[in-house]
Amino acid sequence: MDRDEKGRLQPDPKRFQDGIPKLARYMHDRGLKLGIYGDMGTHTCGGYPGTPLDKIKIDAQTFADWEVDMLKFDGCYSNATEQEQGYPLMSNALNATGRPIGYSCSWPAYQGGLPPKVNYTQLGKICNLWRNYGDIEDSWDSVLNIIDWFFENQDTLIPAAWTWKVE
């Protein structure tokens, strides 16, 4: 629940007694990848330390040092201005570590998921994948609501998806 004396994130000592690097090695030895959850804000949605703007570089390097393969970056406890700056900054910081880390952005979900608020050209350049809609819940109604939203907005989403390209 706290950062260490150098300002780095720390794994929960009860859940990860041997640390994240050992977990990563365990996963990698079995041919699997390790994903981790973070948040563009003061706290994660679950109340753990988040990644405010001044901690982006150190957190990206921590994830690389831990040999994480993917980061799902949420947006609880942040505002639109912080998100607009933070999601691209995290992309740059992850790339600067030299470790290939898949980057999943929740940014579009916090912007309503649709253009013009969501800039898919920019999104395609900074994120490897993203979510457009709120969290799924453990119910069939939740799944249907998400399907309905995508169906109802397909005329907007499909052309937007074709506005970006991988370079």
Does residue 116 have a cis peptide bond before it, meaning omega lies within 30 degrees of 0?
yes
Nearest to 129 by CA among 106, 151, 98, 153: 106
Could you give phi then psi for residue 105, rounded to 5 degrees?
-100, 135
Say which of 29, 74, 138, 141 is annotated catalytic: 74
Let me know if 135 is a catalytic residue: yes
Could you give phi then psi for residue 104, rounded to 5 degrees?
-105, 115
Say which of 65, 135, 138, 141 is annotated catalytic: 135
Question: What 3-state class would DSSP assign to 43?
Answer: strand
Task: Provide the Cα torsion 146, 39, 41, 58; round to 10°.
Answer: -160
Q: Among all residues, which ones are annotated catalytic?
A: 74, 135
